[in-house]
Amino acid sequence: MTNLRKIQSFVRRSGRLTLGQKAGLTEFWGDYGVDLPEGNIDLDALFVKRQQVVLEIGFGNGDSLLEMAINTPDRNFLGIEVYEAGIGRLINEAHKHQLRNLKIIQADAVEVLIQHIENDSFDTFQLFFPDPWHKKKHHKRRIVNPDFLDILSQKVKPGGRIHMATDWEHYAIAMLATLENHPDFKNTQSDPIYSPRPDYRPMTKFEKRGKRLGHGVWDLIFINEAG
């Protein structure tokens, strides 16, 4: 895990924030933002209701995470992102909908998982359209690697789901191989193939545009068999 912590798998983007994004980061942060404690986060105390918890990292502008939280009130959603504008936008939208099953952390997801999350905490893990780092010399920065899967196998409950999606075919091939070769994860498909897109994963406007242009999207859904 040492190498995983040293290699940055994301780029911190900055830019001018809209009034809504600023409001999300300041005015509504107390309702949706999570300030990291010294030790582990108490997930039971974090949400209004105790129910299954879904973790999504790298949610970008938050469109799909917002829609899932709205459509699935019987689950709690925790999102981790470093992109300020996306965080502010998501929190502002969550406030408009008065959601009570969504919380946001602004930090490096790997560090949060290692330093602030107890084992067997999540029922589902989601990673949608991570940076593919398409240049070969940058492949080492891809977050989906054996070390990261070792962390997930500890933090996701036995029997919990790992759901990843990408629109880069070469990354999809690498992700599938990495998951298939890990001893703790089992493909929900009978063969080492990709999963059909489930109805619960919203199709974002970027994905719709990509499909119109003939771009593919690959979903991978695995079960954690650790423990």
3-state SS, residue 161: strand
Instruction: Answer yes or no: are the C-beta atoms of 25 and 91 closer than 8 Å.
Output: yes
How many Cα atoms are found within 13 Å in the side-chain-facing hemisphere of 181? 10
What span, in angstroms and rounded, lies between the C-alpha atoms of 192 and 189? 7
% helix / strand / coil in the chain, to the nearest 5?
A: 40, 20, 40
3-state SS, residue 36: coil
Residue 191 annotated to the active site: no
What span, in angstroms and rounded, lies between the C-alpha atoms of 181 and 183? 6
Catalytic residue among 31, 131, 147, 150: 131
Outline where DSSP puts E strands in the chain: 53-57, 76-81, 102-106, 122-128, 156-166, 185-187, 218-224
What span, in angstroms and rounded, lies between the C-alpha atoms of 118 and 180? 25
Report DSSP letters for 85-119, one per residue.
HHHHHHHHHHHHTT-SSEEEEES-HHHHHHHH--S
Catalytically active residues are 131
